């Protein structure tokens, strides 16, 4: 049994939501593991790189050249860093209510892994959702075109005339009324 195309689009939206939530979840994980706040800049840089990659990929599919300036990149980095710091502080504050916290003072290899994990999740979810969306949209496009030409009813020669939604073939008698 095949799924309706709209069900596939629901999966696409869930995967896109996962890709959006991957980096804030990564910042929360860094807070729970008591990593250095400086590691958030690494996570924000990776988040910006994934965003730029996706922007270029989507622009390439649309056949346009994305215009990205240095000011946009700096503003995007600052916004992402602010978002991640906010998540980090909230999660760290909540965890400090229940246990002693002592943040790391250096950026280590573990921080690189913690930054790569959300990037891999986001890129994977975006790739899978793009493939599912293409398949679902192809199913949506095929449905209406197939229903416009029922089997055995006229041909696609363009010979008939359409009056009020009814196809009148050249050999048919004129309509009454």
27 domain-assigned: yes
176 domain-assigned: no
Question: In terms of residue numbers, what domain contains 103?
Answer: 5-168
* Residue 131: per-residue pLDDT: 85
125 domain-assigned: yes
17 domain-assigned: yes
97 domain-assigned: yes
C-alpha torsion angle, residues 133, 136, 142, 145 (rounded to 10):
-80
Q: Return phi, psi of residue 162, to 5°.
A: -105, 120
- For the chain, the distance separating the N- and C-terminal CA atoms, rounded to the nearest angstrom, is 46
Please tell me the total count of domains within the chain.
1
Per-residue pLDDT of the chain (177 residues; tens, 9 = 90+): 455 555 667 888 888 899 889 999 999 999 999 999 999 999 999 999 999 998 888 888 778 888 888 899 999 999 999 999 999 999 999 999 999 888 888 888 999 999 999 999 999 998 998 888 777 766 666 555 555 555 445 555 556 566 666 666 666 666 665
Listed residue (13, 9, 16) closest to 141, CA to CA = 9
Calpha distance 120→114 (Å, rounded):
10
Calpha distance 11→133 (Å, rounded):
9
- Residue 45 CA neighbour count, 13 Å, CB half: 8
3-state secondary structure (DSSP) of residue 34: coil
11 domain-assigned: yes
pTM passes above 0.85: no
* Residue 152: per-residue pLDDT: 47
Token output for 43:
């996570």
Calpha distance 28→86 (Å, rounded):
10
* Residue 16: per-residue pLDDT: 87
* Residue 49: per-residue pLDDT: 94
3-state secondary structure 115-153: HHHHHHHHHHHHHHHHHHHHHHHHHHHHHHHHHHCCCCC
């Amino acid at each position: 049994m095949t799924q309706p195309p709209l069900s596939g689009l629901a999966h696409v939206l869930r995967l896109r939501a996962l890709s959006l939530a991957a980096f804030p979840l990564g910042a929360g994980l860094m807070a729970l593991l008591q990593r250095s706040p400086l590691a958030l800049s690494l996570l924000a840089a990776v988040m910006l790189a994934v965003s730029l990659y996706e922007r270029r990929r989507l622009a390439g599919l649309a056949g346009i050249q994305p215009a990205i300036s240095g000011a946009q990149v700096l503003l995007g980095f600052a916004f992402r860093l602010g978002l991640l710091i906010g998540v980090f502080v909230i999660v760290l504050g909540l965890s400090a209510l229940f246990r002693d916290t002592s943040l790391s003072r250096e950026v280590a290899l573990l921080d690189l892994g913690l930054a790569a994990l959300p990037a891999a999740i986001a890129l994977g979810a975006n790739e899978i959702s793009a493939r599912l969306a293409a398949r679902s949209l192809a199913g949506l496009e095929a449905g209406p075109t197939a229903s416009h030409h029922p089997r055995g009813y006229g041909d696609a020669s363009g010979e008939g005339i359409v009056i009020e939604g009814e196809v009148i073939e050249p050999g048919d008698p004129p309509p009454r009324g």
